[in-house]
Structure 1
Amino acid sequence: MKEVFEKPYKIVRRLTEKGYQAYFVGGAIRDTIMNRPIGDIDISTSALPEQVMELFPKTIPVGIEHGTVVVMLEEEAFEVTTFRKDDEYLDHRRPTNVQFIDSLLEDLKRRDFTMNAIAMNEHGQIFDPFHGQAAIKEKKIQTVGVPHERFQEDALRMVRAIRFHSQLAFDIEQETLLAIKANANLLHHISIERISVELEKTLSGINCKSAMQLLAETGLSEQILSLISYRDQLQHWPNIHSNLLKTRTEKWALLCTVLKVKETEWFLKTWKLPTRLIKEATSMVLGLEEIQATGWTNLLMYKLGEELTISTERLRLIQLGQLDETEVSKRFDAYKKLPIYDKSDLAVNGHELIEMVGQPPGPWVSKVLSKMEHDILVGKLDNQKELIKEWLNTCNQL
């Protein structure tokens, strides 16, 4: 068993010592089999949520109505969920009721894809009733049970299939793919927030181009209001290494540039993204347009700031198919050579400016400071108080 399982192993062991069934489940097992980096490690158990909370000193009942309790162990959080069976689904999104059960098989049966319906016990023994290991070996995305039923239950699973196609470079099994096309119209029941999480992960995948094309070909993009006008751009997604992007902002800026979005800020708002991300991605898109027109300038780097300057350069190089971290480092070095990084770096502030000029405060102060910033950044003025005094006599901004 891999080292990352050492801490959650203690949880599983504690549960089994008390007579409960407990297993590692889901993506962590899939990624273990594939020898991929392992993210969150989830645990399923026959113990009821209240019983789990009794066994561990620090727990958080984050989703207790659905059987989930977060167990804190050495400052790390692990989700422990009671075996459950879902009743009928409401609006193709969520079950009307959840039944807690003591059957691992029934719990795995409710999961989306066979590769995610694999469990592992504390001894590293695999339980694979739906042949998920075979699907992994064949690089195949296949639903547990009848695809039509799985997508009728939760329409987001169709977008998850596209996301896994991007991340794992697995093919979607034919019957599953046909069911996505047949049920694509159900996606309008799903909130844009849930879809945006999956799309962001799709943008990070090694098979992003094919995944974006599938969004259009399956008809899913027609059901996503934010993408409804971009079918052609999705079908002609370029062959770029978007998996090399490092931040959320870079991914959403990439989406905007590839789709040739005209109103970037409005488009990003439709995805219900955080305000800061929207602002930064919009700045990056505008920055890329400016670079295309005039190349990198001190003014642009100053406007973007350190983090966005680096991100914009990385995205630019990735889109050109020329990503080289030494080039990104050169842009960072260029940024570090800027004469100022912020208005607070000016050798003369607003109060000193008013004293120097001998005029009462007014809009002219901001205007002169902005001109001062500009001239320092373009090399027309050194950021020194005496030189700024001389410059004030000739700048014609008063």
Structure 2
Amino acid sequence: MKIETLPEEFIKAQPIIDTIEAAGYEAYYVGGSVRDTLLGLPIHDVDIATSAYPEEVKSLFNRTVDTGIEHGTVMILDHGTGYETTTFRTESGYQDYRRPDSVKFVRSLKEDLNRRDFTINALALKTDGTIIDYFDGLTDLKNHRIRAVGDPEKRFNEDALRMMRAVRFASQLNFKIDSETIAGIEHHGSLLTKIAVERIHVEFVKMLLGQWPAMGLDVFMETGLYQYCPDFKAYSDQLDQLRNKLKSGLSNETAVWSLIAATFNLSWQQINQLLKHWKSANQLIEDVQTATKAVQAISTQSVDAWVLYQTGKELLVIANEVAYKLGESSYETTALIAQYDALQIHSKKALAITGQDLMAAGVKPGPQLGQALNYLERQVVDGQLTNQNQVLLSTAINYLNEKA
């Protein structure tokens, strides 16, 4: 097969390959960029594979970075763009079920492609548009099929994360996973516990961000892969419900975990625990806790000014998206945003009074100062007070006198 017109990304990278070939070596575009070009999808990274060994590659270019030289990868910096260029290699060992214990550089493209995960990712592209396909990946692309290169049992034993990559690709591409590859996932699911949670996290989120998440979730559940992910084993029923409800992917990672938290009906503390187990950043945890609370309010049609205020515009959009995915929202996002925009203030800093103002009026420093400001904040948000300094000052004095 030959691609008549190559995308601009490949044309820009061609001088790299031309330089390598001029020195007597082979070089090809490989991996996801080739697959996505054939599928008519946007290209993210252009990766190059070559028969030149790392030191030979470095000798051909003025600017290179050793990004993974022990595995044969050198970053070539050209015209402001970095191109990862990796020597053909074979791998062996895999005692940690993720990375090879030893890497051997070879001069054969076929040997290099033979170590890759799936046939649709084991394609190489020449600069003239010719596709090199040793493992019938083109047929699998045509048939919308994800199939391991060679023996699935061996592929997943080498790198257990490939099982999560399979379900992620199913979701992103709307492809089915072939039966032998599914059987390999069933047999090796427990090896997922050997993989760093952070890596599983990335693949799981990408799966739910895909346009056809149910394609990945079906295999994720049916093979039992879910039970080897942090805390998911106890929520099989909820995950089953989710794959039946989720007709399209989420917009971002906060939406993904808010959906999970709402589906599992998690409390504030349980959200914290789950996301800590998934090695999530603190800011993500806080955002998910806030968004999930808003999802509950949207689902029960109990959204009020205080909910809008506490949630904020960005998380409000996410919360309504999640509630909509679950079939539990009767609100239009634009209407919620309009209500939020109509609030007198959107943060405590916007109050027309400060602690200094209260102290100047005779209020002593202490807990009562904070209590008064909290009271004013709630009253202004709820529309019970106008956000004017004198109004707030007199209300605060009356509030504190009544509490005295």
Measured against the shorter chain, the TM-score band is over 0.9
Residue by residue over 1:335-387, the C-alpha shift from the partner in whole angstroms, topping out at 9 and shown as x without a partner, is 2222112221111111111112x132111111111111100000011111121
CA distance in 1, matches of 2:237, 2:88: 44
Per-residue deviation at 1:332?
Answer: 2.7
In structure 1, the gaps of 5 or more residues are none
Q: Which residue of 1 aligns with 2:172?
A: 167
Q: Which residue of 1 aligns with 2:371?
A: 367
Does 165-174 or 3-12 show the bigger shift?
Answer: 3-12
Identity of aligned residues (%): 37
Q: Which residue of 2 aligns with 1:292?
A: 299
User: So what's the TM-score if we normalise by structure 2?
Assistant: 0.92
1:229 to 221, 227, 234: 234
CA distance in 2, matches of 1:71, 1:26: 17
- Residue type at the aligned position of 1:379: G
CA distance in 1, matches of 2:219, 2:191: 16
CA distance in 2, matches of 1:298, 1:97: 60
Per-residue deviation at 1:50?
Answer: 2.7
Q: Which residue of 1 aligns with 2:67?
A: 62
CA distance in 1, matches of 2:16, 2:340: 48
Per-residue deviation at 1:59?
Answer: 2.9
Q: Which residue of 2 aligns with 1:307?
A: 314
| Structure 1 residue 391 corresponds to structure 2 residue 395 | yes
Per-residue deviation at 1:221?
Answer: 1.7
Q: Which residue of 1 aligns with 2:137?
A: 132
* Aligned length in residues: 394
Per-residue deviation at 1:280?
Answer: 0.8
Per-residue deviation at 1:397?
Answer: 4.9
Give the alignment of 1:240-279 within 5 angstroms: 240-243=246-249, 245-262=250-267, 263-279=270-286
Per-residue deviation at 1:103?
Answer: 1.0
Q: Which residue of 2 aligns with 1:191?
A: 196
CA distance in 2, matches of 1:335, 1:196: 33
Q: Which residue of 2 aligns with 1:87?
A: 92
Per-residue deviation at 1:322?
Answer: 7.3
In structure 2, the gaps of 5 or more residues are 1-5
Q: Which residue of 1 aligns with 2:3?
A: none
Residue by residue over 1:145-182, the C-alpha shift from the partner in whole angstroms, topping out at 9 and shown as x without a partner, is 11111111111111211111111121111111112112
CA distance in 2, matches of 1:218, 1:280: 31
CA distance in 1, matches of 2:379, 2:79: 54
CA distance in 1, matches of 2:329, 2:46: 36
Per-residue deviation at 1:135?
Answer: 0.4
Does 307-316 or 364-373 show the bigger shift?
Answer: 307-316
| Structure 1 residue 43 corresponds to structure 2 residue 48 | yes
Residue by residue over 1:26-80, the C-alpha shift from the partner in whole angstroms, topping out at 9 and shown as x without a partner, is 1111111111222222111122223333333433222111111223334433321
Residue by residue over 1:61-119, the C-alpha shift from the partner in whole angstroms, topping out at 9 and shown as x without a partner, is 22111111223334433321111110222132211111111111111000001010001
- Residue type at the aligned position of 2:366: G
- Residue type at the aligned position of 1:207: W
Residue 58 and residue 274 in structure 1: after superposition, are their counterparts in 2 closer, same or farther (change >3 A)?
Answer: farther
- Residue type at the aligned position of 1:141: I
Q: Which residue of 2 aligns with 1:318?
A: 325
| Structure 1 residue 150 corresponds to structure 2 residue 155 | yes
Q: Which residue of 2 aligns with 1:379?
A: 383
CA distance in 2, matches of 1:8, 1:259: 47
CA distance in 2, matches of 1:5, 1:330: 45
Per-residue deviation at 1:286?
Answer: 1.6
